């Protein structure tokens, strides 16, 4: 897909706006009538990307809590 297509899913798009299938009041928006990309790899890459961010935040929070706990003792 290229050009001015509207997509959803970051960093890898998994939803694409289908202007031909969308109702007139839904042009330029993504809704239930739009199609999901058959690229299942993009879905798993998105899940990995956000999972990695959550894991990094969890590790940072855990190290901060352990540091505070040691400083209190």
For the segment 6-61, what is each residue's pLDDT rounded down to a tens digit? Answer: 777 777 777 777 666 666 666 667 666 666 676 788 888 888 999 999 999 999 99
How many domains, in total, are found in the chain?
1
Q: Round to whole Å and give the CA distance between 62 and 67.
A: 9
pTM (two decimals):
0.58
- Domain assignment present for residue 21? The answer is yes
pLDDT at 67: 94
**Does a structural domain hold residue 2?**
no
Say what the pLDDT of residue 1 is: 46
In-domain check, residue 24 = yes
Q: Which has more confidence, 32 or 63?
A: 63
Residue 66 is part of which domain span? 7-72
- The answer to whether position 1 is within a domain reads no
Sheet holding 7-8, edge to edge: 7-8, 15-16, 35-36
């Amino acid at each position: 897909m290229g050009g001015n297509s509207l997509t959803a899913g970051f960093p890898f798009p998994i939803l694409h706006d289908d202007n031909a299938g969308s109702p007139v009041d839904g042009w330029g928006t993504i809704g239930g009538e739009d199609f999901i990309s058959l690229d299942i790899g993009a879905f798993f890459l998105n899940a990995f990307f956000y999972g990695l961010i959550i894991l990094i935040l969890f590790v940072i929070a855990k190290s901060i809590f352990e540091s505070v706990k040691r400083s209190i003792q």
